Structure 1
Amino acid sequence: MKRLLALLLSLALLAWLASDGRWRALGDSLGRFSPGLIGLALAGFALSYALRALRVSDEFRSDTGGRYLTCLRIVLVHNAMVNLVPFRGGEAAFPLLLRQHFGTSLPRAIASLFWFRLQDAFVVAALTAAVWPGLPAAWRVAGIVLLVGLALWLPRWARAPHRWHQGSAIAARLGRLRDAFADSTRHARLGWLWTVANWSVKLSTQAYVLAQLLPASLATGAAGALGAELAAILPVQGVAGFGTYEAGAAAAMLPSGIALEQGLQAALALHLFVIASAVLAGVLAWMAGLARPETDPNRTSKTP
């Protein structure tokens, strides 16, 4: 059912584009990508990728042996796969690549990926509370305090002693998942720093690009970028995010006076650019890995 809804969302966006010559309006939006804007956006995305690679290198430092460039290739290929493979199937690339290059066990890699995504959600939500236009100051403070408190409490809860293993088969399985999650929260020394830095750069870049495409103020672009990323948390996603990304961005910009159609067109142009950048970076990283295959005789698989 979720896959059917995802397909319907993407088809709805395609049908909307096909009606009333909206393809031409999309072409106008894409035409606003000047060489300077493209260069700035690519620089911002490159910095975001570099920060994500630092996050992976820090989390798996006992496995990577300081091979930062390999971590960067993993991040780029994983990011491209997430954008290309429908229904979030590309997420599987991350643990598989870690096992291939560093011998990291799949349970360890999967638990860390889950923790990464939780950190992403906390940071995006906190940034939303901090910069969302028109939000009362008391609500901003309350939202940020609540999110920070929950983010600090969750790992402590996971690490606390429990007796889930002594229960039913389902409880025992949940206990193993809790233990794997608890273990994943212990490794990164600067995980929150890399996460905040990455999202600050990524959202700032998208906000600026969106503001230039509309055109509108940077605050309006920030609202659209946050709306698009918050839509990614929804349980139902369009194929490659098409439909939900654009709807989230356009809805978030409505209070700023941006018409729904205008917001959808600008968000779609940005989304296409983001995907093209991710795929290009992933292909280049994959080709670099083929050109310089790793030959580390000391690496042994940790997978049982």
Structure 2
Amino acid sequence: MRKSNVAISLIILMIFGYVLYRYNVFSQLSGMLEKLSYRDIAFSLFVYVFVYVFRALRLRLYIDEISLPEMASVIGVHTFFNNVMPFRSGETSFPIILKKLFGIEMSRSSVILFGARVFDLLSLSLLFLISLFSVSFSDKRLIFFPIAAVFLIGATLFFVYRFLHFFREKIPFFDELIVASAVLFRADKLFMMFVFSICIWVLKFVAFMFILNAAHLNLGFLKTIFVSTFAELTTVLPVHSFGGFGTFEAGMVGGFSLIGISAKQALPYAVYFHTLILCMSGITAFAGWIYLSIKRK
């Protein structure tokens, strides 16, 4: 990692620490922890584990020589690195682990991981669009967002069509390349990849909903999607701190503000939410690392 990236991450962390001190977030968190529903937290962790199971099922569509428990364990370790390391540098852990433990070529695993990320984006966009319409119906001030989202999706599809049409005219063997790709990425596998991706995000948002319920913030499923999607999108920002602290909370506070919760009120919930997600990913990563260590011996 470049020194400039580390410096930026440290600056973000220091600014975030000052904001927490300035708004007395730590004392609010202390009061929040005393009233937590640990039953809801336990259920959210239970659901969160199944997120890894479905991620493993999705990747095993193309890497079936690795068992389901081993793949889920690899994903657990990989996800933790991805959550902790800035600038999405944790993505490199997946092909590295598969290469060292199972001999899978890094080029192959990297392409498959990239495909999974594309389906993640499609699934997240679809669920977020549904939540946008739901939220805008309850607050007419937000009607602009689903309209803008539909326009953006339409514009994106149009530019993708024009992009492919441009290459079809420039590359003589373009049609043959499409046919070859269809053989490699069969329609049935692509369909199952999309189904698994939808299941992953639905389960993830269910876990998120129970995390907020545990802190007695009962938003409901669709509003949870709406709020937490803003936080999820910060993970792809070029400016990202260690653990995502600061940027993740900023995105979530922005989502809260759009549904009428002030930044001062939302910030402790965002910090609690983010910290618990990191703890849960740490637990699953540790369990996965133990399992892989035993299996590889």
TM range (shorter): 0.7 to 0.9
CA 84–15 in structure 1, closer or farther in 2 if over 3 Å, else same:
same
The aligned counterpart of 1:195 is: 197
Cα RMSD after superposing both structures = 3.5
The aligned counterpart of 1:301 is: none
Q: Deviations over 1:27-60 (max 9, x none)?
A: 2233343221111110110111111111111131
Query: What is the distance in 2 between the residues matched to 1:243 and 1:49?
Result: 26
| AA partner of residue 185 (structure 2) | R
The aligned counterpart of 1:302 is: none
Q: Which of 16, 33, 51 is equivalent to 1:48?
A: 51
In terms of mean alpha carbon deviation, does 49-58 or 221-230 score higher?
Answer: 221-230
Structure 2 unmatched runs, 5+: 137-141
Q: C-alpha displacement at 1:217, in angstroms?
A: 2.5
CA 75–270 in structure 1, closer or farther in 2 if over 3 Å, else same:
same
CA 154–129 in structure 1, closer or farther in 2 if over 3 Å, else same:
farther
Q: C-alpha displacement at 1:209, in angstroms?
A: 2.1
CA 183–242 in structure 1, closer or farther in 2 if over 3 Å, else same:
farther
Query: What is the distance in 1 between the residues matched to 2:63 and 2:163?
Result: 18
The aligned counterpart of 1:115 is: 115
Q: C-alpha displacement at 1:240, in angstroms?
A: 1.3
* Greater helix fraction, Structure 1 or Structure 2: 2
Q: C-alpha displacement at 1:150, in angstroms?
A: 7.5
In terms of mean alpha carbon deviation, does 139-148 or 276-285 score higher?
Answer: 139-148
What are the equivalent positions in structure 2 for 1:66-81 lying under 5 Å apart? 67-81=67-81
The aligned counterpart of 2:235 is: 232
Q: C-alpha displacement at 1:100, in angstroms?
A: 2.7
The aligned counterpart of 2:139 is: none
In terms of mean alpha carbon deviation, does 87-96 or 143-152 score higher?
Answer: 143-152
Q: C-alpha displacement at 1:97, in angstroms?
A: 1.7
Query: What is the distance in 1 between the residues matched to 2:149 and 2:86?
Result: 37
CA 97–161 in structure 1, closer or farther in 2 if over 3 Å, else same:
farther
| AA partner of residue 12 (structure 2) | L
Q: C-alpha displacement at 1:146, in angstroms?
A: 3.3
Q: Which of 208, 211, 221 is equivalent to 1:209?
A: 211
Indicate whether 1:248 and 2:256 are aligned. Answer: no
The aligned counterpart of 1:261 is: 264
Query: What is the distance in 2 between the residues matched to 1:249 and 1:51?
Result: 25
Q: C-alpha displacement at 1:19, in angstroms?
A: 2.9
Q: Deviations over 1:89-109 (max 9, x none)?
A: 221110012223332211111
In terms of mean alpha carbon deviation, does 217-226 or 189-198 score higher?
Answer: 217-226
Q: Report if the CA contact (8 A) 2:40-2:213 is conserved.
A: no
What are the equivalent positions in structure 2 for 1:1-304 lying under 5 Å apart? 1-19=4-22, 21-61=24-64, 63-64=65-66, 67-132=67-132, 133-134=135-136, 136=143, 139=147, 142=150, 146=154, 149=157, 186=185, 188-189=189-190, 190-213=192-215, 215-218=217-220, 219-293=222-296
Q: Report if the CA contact (8 A) 1:129-1:143 is conserved.
A: no
| AA partner of residue 215 (structure 1) | L
Query: What is the distance in 1 between the residues matched to 2:215 and 2:270?
Result: 9
- With the length of structure 2 as denominator, give the TM-score of the two structures: 0.79
Aligned residues: 276
Identity of paired residues, percent?
20
| AA partner of residue 75 (structure 1) | I
CA 256–106 in structure 1, closer or farther in 2 if over 3 Å, else same:
same
CA 29–151 in structure 1, closer or farther in 2 if over 3 Å, else same:
farther
Aligned to 1:104, what secondary structure does the other structure show? coil
